[in-house]
Structure 1
Amino acid sequence: MVWIQYAHNSLPNSATGLSPFHCSLGYQPPLFSDQEEESPFPLSTCLCAAVVGPGRRPCSAPLPGSFFPPCRFKLSLQICLLQVTGYKKLFVDVENLRKQPFDSSKKQHEDMLIKLWELLMPHIPLESRITKQWGDIGFQGEDPKTDFRGMGMLGLHNLMFFGEHYPETARQALSQSNHPKMGYSYAIVGINLTEMAYSMLKTGILKTHLYNVVSGAPQMHHFHEFYCYLMYEFNQFWFKEKPASIMEFNYYREQFHKRVKELLLDHNSVLILKAERQ
């Protein structure tokens, strides 16, 4: 498949006289690795473009103008393929978690929910499993399981990861979300941001970030880390914009979404939460 795509991207267009490689990369990469000595542009770069699409630099291949010794070609290609196949597998794993509903009969699900409370409210005991206290961390009703219907267990895993690995940052965001005028429902917004992260993964917008973060197959924890970035940055964005009320959430959510997508268009983008991790 790689070679078929390479051949397709090498064919000149009848109207412009230029191949897709010339249009997107500005040059025609060599076909064989032993020809790299004659060209400053390595085959590995073109293969990355062929696998993922012209005009993008998703993998660890060098920018045009750099040089890979022939001995590194195989390693570079392996990394590119690992990133591409790993991204597809990550989406399958994320999708399976999203499709898994919260089940009160499963001890693991119940334990995670209680653990979330303990992470966010370490000094206040939960009176009972069904209680209005859940509203204190941003759930809508007395039983949080109903709020996970849209994103399934993926929403709970995201909230748990943020609270477990960035406890101070998560508690600070929760505290700020209880602002008397500009407050928002922490857990509900968190699940909403799970949907945002999921949609970016599904559409492929997240490829550049993940390929820049790991020179191999991206894993579930890389997706969780991106979610933590969204949680922190949205909280900062919300209070900077100073919305009149929670009724303006959809508008500001869309503005935040556009801002993140613009950042992801940068081929060098790495969106990581810069906070102490535990």
Structure 2
Amino acid sequence: MVWLLSKLYQKYVYYMLKWFTHMLTGKCAIERILESHDLSDGDRALKVEKQLVHSKSSIKNLVDNFGTIVTGSLKTLASLGGSTEVFSKEVAIKNVQSVKVFAFSSNILRLESTMVLICDYRSLIREVEKLRITKFDESNDSHVRMLKNIWRNLKLEDNGDNEFTRTGPHWKDLGFQGEDPVTDLRGMGILGLANLNYFAASYTDKAKQLLIRSHNPTIGYSFAITGIDLTNLCYQLLLFGTLKHIFYYQEKDKLRNGVDFFEECFVQIFELFDAYWIESKPESIMDYGVIRKSFEEEIRASILSRRKIVMKDDQL
């Protein structure tokens, strides 16, 4: 019964209310949102985006199903059945203006800044997806360089031979399953490797601290494997829109765009998971699945309710 009422609301009542308010104010929903002075940039972007998604006009294509791209080796996000159209920020703004008439130039300026946020988030999804479906290539110098950087930044003093070698038992010390780290990248492709490389290069001391803690005989875990798994978590949070509740609310003087934003989220989530894992006092690595699921539920709730990556009372 609840489901039926929800469907009826979405199909009939919602649009009737929009039409009535439009007739009463003489302004479309997007214009009313843009004129509201009580909304933050993030709130405004979420509300405008919702209006675009529910629009019956062609502008729905601007945001519907993330507007995925198909060029070269880049595939659509099949799980979402996404559109194959790609819109630049300029085209998106022009298309909205061609359908919606705005009375004040100030609204056009707010529309531009809002559409920039919406389009940048979708561009980020495409960048991340491209990395995810890219396989490790032995002949690609940048791929091999990331492995070398991970090894050089995270190698432990008691490893003995500190020279980089492409395969060997030393990779197990970093938390890979076997002697060839590439075999663990299949699920997340180069994206998993890039995240580990960013953590190791940008936050070397913190990454080493987590690596050493992961060697604890009682509450230890596989550092690299966990990092790849948490890359998948970040990917899901990005893909299904959870991370936009951070992306849209960034402080302008600390604004991060592109893969840099995704990598920063990964680092924070990895640190939070490490603390959550220790707090949970696992009896063995066999508890990983249960703890990981609980962590995911909490991190989603934290982001959606507080618009930042925090757990309980701790903030990075």
Q: TM-score, normalised by structure 1?
A: 0.75
User: What is the rounded CA distance, in whole Å, between the counterparts of 2:25 and 2:45 in structure 1?
Assistant: 12
2:147 pairs with 1:105: no
2:273 pairs with 1:234: yes
* Cα deviation, residue 136, structure 1: 0.5
- With over 3 angstroms needed to count, the CA separation of the structure-2 counterparts of 1:179 and 1:72, relative to structure 1, is farther
Match of residue 288, structure 2, among 249, 258, 264: 249
SS in 2 for 1:13: helix
- With over 3 angstroms needed to count, the CA separation of the structure-2 counterparts of 1:71 and 1:254, relative to structure 1, is same
User: What is the rounded CA distance, in whole Å, between the counterparts of 2:36 and 2:308 in structure 1?
Assistant: 30
Is the CA contact 2:45–2:117 (under 8 Å) kept in the aligned structure 1? Answer: no
* Cα deviation, residue 47, structure 1: 7.4
User: What is the rounded CA distance, in whole Å, between the counterparts of 2:315 and 2:300 in structure 1?
Assistant: 19
* Cα deviation, residue 199, structure 1: 0.9
* Cα deviation, residue 98, structure 1: 0.4
Match of residue 153, structure 1, among 190, 195, 205: 190
- With over 3 angstroms needed to count, the CA separation of the structure-2 counterparts of 1:241 and 1:12, relative to structure 1, is same
User: What is the rounded CA distance, in whole Å, between the counterparts of 2:251 and 2:19 in structure 1?
Assistant: 28
The one-letter code matched in structure 1 to 2:50 is: V
Q: What does residue 51 of structure 1 align with?
A: 49
Match of residue 238, structure 2, among 201, 216, 229: 201
Match of residue 116, structure 2, among 82, 91, 110: 82
* Cα deviation, residue 99, structure 1: 0.4
Greater mean alpha carbon deviation, residues 255-264 or residues 105-114: 105-114
Structure 1: tracts of 5 or more residues without a match: 1-8, 55-69
- With over 3 angstroms needed to count, the CA separation of the structure-2 counterparts of 1:12 and 1:169, relative to structure 1, is same
Q: What does residue 307 of structure 2 align with?
A: 269
User: What is the rounded CA distance, in whole Å, between the counterparts of 1:129 and 1:83 in structure 2?
Assistant: 41
Is the CA contact 2:44–2:114 (under 8 Å) kept in the aligned structure 1? Answer: no
* Cα deviation, residue 264, structure 1: 1.8
Is the CA contact 2:151–2:164 (under 8 Å) kept in the aligned structure 1? Answer: no
- Percent identity of equivalent pairs: 31
Cα shift readout 1:153-202 (whole Å, capped 9, x = no counterpart): 00000001111111111111101100111100000000000000001111
Q: What does residue 170 of structure 1 align with?
A: 207
Q: How does 1:131-142 map to 2 (within 5 A)?
A: 131-142=168-179
User: What is the rounded CA distance, in whole Å, between the counterparts of 2:36 and 2:189 in structure 1?
Assistant: 51
* Cα deviation, residue 18, structure 1: 4.4
User: What is the rounded CA distance, in whole Å, between the counterparts of 2:206 and 2:36 in structure 1?
Assistant: 49
Is the CA contact 1:200–1:206 (under 8 Å) kept in the aligned structure 2? Answer: yes
* Cα deviation, residue 73, structure 1: 3.1
- With over 3 angstroms needed to count, the CA separation of the structure-2 counterparts of 1:169 and 1:29, relative to structure 1, is farther
More RCO (CA 8 Å, sep 6+): 1
Q: TM-score, normalised by structure 2?
A: 0.67
- With over 3 angstroms needed to count, the CA separation of the structure-2 counterparts of 1:113 and 1:150, relative to structure 1, is same
- With over 3 angstroms needed to count, the CA separation of the structure-2 counterparts of 1:32 and 1:246, relative to structure 1, is closer
Is the CA contact 2:132–2:189 (under 8 Å) kept in the aligned structure 1? Answer: yes
User: What is the rounded CA distance, in whole Å, between the counterparts of 2:129 and 2:239 in structure 1?
Assistant: 9
Tell me how many residue pairs correspond in the alignment.
243
* Cα deviation, residue 207, structure 1: 1.0
Match of residue 155, structure 2, among 102, 121, 126: 121
User: What is the rounded CA distance, in whole Å, between the counterparts of 1:232 and 1:114 in structure 2?
Assistant: 23
- With over 3 angstroms needed to count, the CA separation of the structure-2 counterparts of 1:12 and 1:30, relative to structure 1, is farther
* Cα deviation, residue 204, structure 1: 1.1
Is the CA contact 2:148–2:164 (under 8 Å) kept in the aligned structure 1? Answer: no
- With over 3 angstroms needed to count, the CA separation of the structure-2 counterparts of 1:20 and 1:144, relative to structure 1, is farther
* Cα deviation, residue 71, structure 1: 6.3
Q: What does residue 58 of structure 2 align with?
A: none
User: What is the rounded CA distance, in whole Å, between the counterparts of 2:174 and 2:20 in structure 1?
Assistant: 52
Q: CA RMSD in A?
A: 3.6
